[in-house]
A and B are shown apart, each in its own frame.
Chain A
Amino acid sequence: MTHLQELENQSVYILREAYKHFDHLAMLWSMGKDSTVLLWLTRKAFFGHVPFPLIHIDTSYKIPAMIEYRDRLVREWRLNLVIGQNKEALAAGMNHTRGRGVCCTALKTDGLKNLLAEKGYTGVILGIRADEESTRAKERYFSPRDKNNEWDFRDQPPELWDQFKTTFPPGTHIRIHPLLDWTEVNVWEYIKLEHIPFMDLYLDRGDGTRFRSLGCAPCTFPIQSSARSVDDIIVELRQTTVAERSGRAQDEGRGMELLRKDGYM
């Protein structure tokens, strides 16, 4: 069995555990490479079906091409898409110039919180990976969030032998992370292997730059790259010593620790 097959089998097992144990289950889909791979794995796990809704937390600052790609896959794969948006904060003019942490918290964390409360989801599947960033390296596959959506990283439940935390007190919910053991290269290798459609924002379209990680337009910056195909990306990533999220402004300083403690993805 290849490493990619090992990863796929483990992720499929986790997705099926999530589906079995959570009546109110949903998956976050940002249209980025990771959550699209996750969506593909879901179709694998359930033999072509996606038996729960997908959530897109729309900050309104996403790159327009992402929304086009989203709507195309929703049609082609017959997905049940739920869009969450913190309309109040947007109406009050929230944007990144008010501080990145403030903006991420309002439009993403709170946007998600509000939607979870409104829909009553108790299980939320996310495509985060341990190698992205150091607080995510400490996550569990099934990670509880308390009544305030907060992550108590000081006291995480034990998780062993593919037995996960699937019971939880009322009012709390569980975040499920099937891609935790995947690396950035693994994600691209899998996209190549399975011919998964992805956005060309990840490729150099002639100006010598590409996006390595996608977020909101004002806070995501392209990297210098001449990668014009998935193969080029894989070769580039095997050589690089630059962190994946170097183009993501929210990671500066202790940004992610504080954001994630409060319920950020």
Chain B
Amino acid sequence: MLTTLTKPRESLTIVIVGHVDHGKSTLLGRLYADTKSLPDGKLEKVQAICQQQGKEFEYSFLFDAFLEEQEQGVTIDTARTFFTWDARQYIIIDAPGHREFLKNMISGAARAEAALLVIDALEGVKEQSKKHGYLLSLLGVKQVAVIVNKMDLVGYRQDVFAGIEKEYREFLSRLKVEPERVVPVSARHGDNIASRSARTAWYEGPTVLETLGLFKKETAPTEQPLRFPVQDVYKFDARRIIAGRITAGRLKVGDRLVFSPSNKTANVRTVEAFNLEKPLTEAQAGESVGITLDEQIFVERGEIASSQDTIPLVSTAFRANVFWLGRRPLEQGRKYQLRLATREVACEVAAFHRIMDAVDLDQRQGGTVVHRNNVAELTIRAKAPLAFDPSGAFEATGRFVIVDEYDIAGGGIITELVHDEQEFLRDEARRRDFAWAKGEVGTEERAQQYGHRAAMVLFTGPAHTGKAFLARKLEALLVAEGRHAYLLDADNLRVGLDADLEEKDVAGVAEMIRRYGEVVRVLIDTGLIVVSTTNAFGAAHTQAAQAIMTLVHPAPVVAVHMAKSDDEPPPNTDLAFAGPKDFDAAARQVMDELKRRGVLAHSIGEKPKYQYSI
């Protein structure tokens, strides 16, 4: 064990995958035993347990820790094991091959930098051999070596090995995966594991141990454009620290950052750290850091910071390749939580393009249900716009998981952006925000002076539901409380600002909505709470509500839907009233929502308590 005396220069995480009973755990056990990497007494202890239970010792028992695993001779969950060889530390994850435990295999493989895919020489390429190969490519594991095990059972015949190699290489080439090596071994007898075997004299390639040494260390993408997903905002002391892990690129003090999707911008003032002799001035991909900004802008978890000329994509929809692990199938119409980097947002499947059987990769058109352990190409629509990248360009911000109820039930990689109807206005808002000239008085100072944040309360819904009446009541109530509120009636813009527009024209109405949204945006910058209805836009009220939200984003919008019956309110509704009789109570409910959202401080004179504006 002389090799372990020096400090390992690096660490590499490897996953062992493949079909059940093809000998993954045996391979692992053998690798440890033959490199003398087992702790003293471990082999003897397991041998003693086997003897006690009257069964033959298997190398796989070394890591199948649970009694049930040993009794059934099957690995249930991944084990992380460690060994050091040739100045490199390996974390080896032994993944289960049984289809029941695919979620465990994925949990293990998702964190690996390279994979050993084990195939039984006697059984040949099986269902999970293919599925695991496919999932490795989806999970982003690019370095794969194929281990053809149990060569003893086929008399160490070269033609059997060559046949499996040819078949599996063909399969992998369809996934655009090129295996680094294909190695014939017998894990049980130790052939070509740690030392070259005379029984496969026809084989000239590396042993398993040598194959590990040939895998390259994956390094964080420091040379890519910056991606810094905001994980949290801390205010433990005088510093307001934006914390997160840089997933690509680098940043330094003085850099101008853009936060997407809010389009807020500020410069990096400091890079914060604990227990360092001299202050940091820069940080790079892979590092969990904290920064402070030169301006007190409101940014929150889930936004992605970048430089202004290389911002991520922003939309409510994207196309993706998804694998599903949930107990319940992935279905149309059901609501899920999407998590991408640190962003979490409600989502649903907008379109099922194809559902695949990962074994044959044959395409099944049609369906709207993805069952457990299947793979699909989907369009996913989120409730609110989010920032992301195509996975081909940026790994960490190009992938996501889907949460069903309490558990992660699926994962996927983004293949492309899907344009949504708000795209045009969103681009306009971004250009306008980037170019916005600011005065000396900041948003924060206004909020402290006024005792509330700027916001919009927007009443939506069909005609004759009392929207205008409630809006007036709310404005009066807010002003009576000492808040700075203003009822903006879109009809007041009609004769003046919109004098050049034709109301009967679809394009004319769209332009009225756009101008109205921009006016609200200006009023919000003055620190007001703008109260309004979509009444003036008639039949286009739903379209208007979406457009206004896009234009005033990221200011808080409390959307209040009013209807005569309990119909399903439109997306992004915060409060819904079905024909309220007590309008005073309804107005107070809106006030409570404003408090809950941190727009209103709980009483006049009290400082607003939202941490993000401090």
Contacts and interface: CB of A to CB of B under 8 A. Distances in A.
Given A6-B286, A9-B245, A161-B399, A46 B79 contact: no
B67 A254 contact: yes
Q: Which of A131, A137, A183 has the largest count of B CB atoms less than 10 A from its CB?
A: A137
Contact of A160 (B82, B275, B406, B411): B411
A44 B272 CA distance: 10
Contact of A158 (B106, B245, B290): B106
A13 B286 contact: no
A75 B401 CA distance: 42
B288 interface: yes
A180 interface: yes
Interface in A135-192: 135, 137-138, 140, 153-154, 156-163, 165, 167-169, 180-181, 183, 189
Contact of A47 (B39, B107, B234): B234
Nearest to B272: A47
Interface in A192-225: 194
A140 B78 CA distance: 9
Interface string A96-117: 0000000000000000000000
A194 to B, nearest CB: 7
Contact of B8 (A3, A154, A165, A194): A3
B42 A243 contact: yes
Given A6-B286, A138-B66, A239 B81 contact: no
Interface in B306-328: 325
Contacts of A44: 273-275
B139 interface: yes
B274 A47 contact: yes
B79 A241 contact: no
Given A160-B107, A238-B5, A239-B4, A45 B288 contact: yes
A120 interface: no
Interface residues of A, number: 56
Interface in B265-312: 272-275, 286-288, 290, 301
Nearest to A189: B7
A49 interface: yes
A43 interface: yes
A134 interface: yes
B231 A16 contact: yes
A65 interface: no
A19 interface: yes
Nearest to B76: A154
Contacts of B245: 9, 13, 162
Contacts of B82: 130-131, 183
A212 to B, nearest CB: 12
13 contacts: A3-B10, A9-B287, A9-B288, A20-B232, A131-B82, A158-B104, A158-B106, A160-B110, A161-B110, A161-B396, A165-B406, A167-B407, A243-B39
Interface of B: 1, 4-8, 10-11, 36, 38-42, 63, 65-68, 76-82, 89, 91, 103-104, 106-107, 110-111, 139, 219-220, 231-232, 234, 236-237, 239, 241, 243, 245, 272-275, 286-288, 290, 301, 325, 339, 396, 399, 401, 403, 405-409, 411
Interface of A: 1, 3, 5-6, 8-10, 12-13, 16-17, 19-20, 43-49, 51, 130-131, 134-135, 137-138, 140, 153-154, 156-163, 165, 167-169, 180-181, 183, 189, 194, 235, 238-239, 241-243, 246, 254, 257
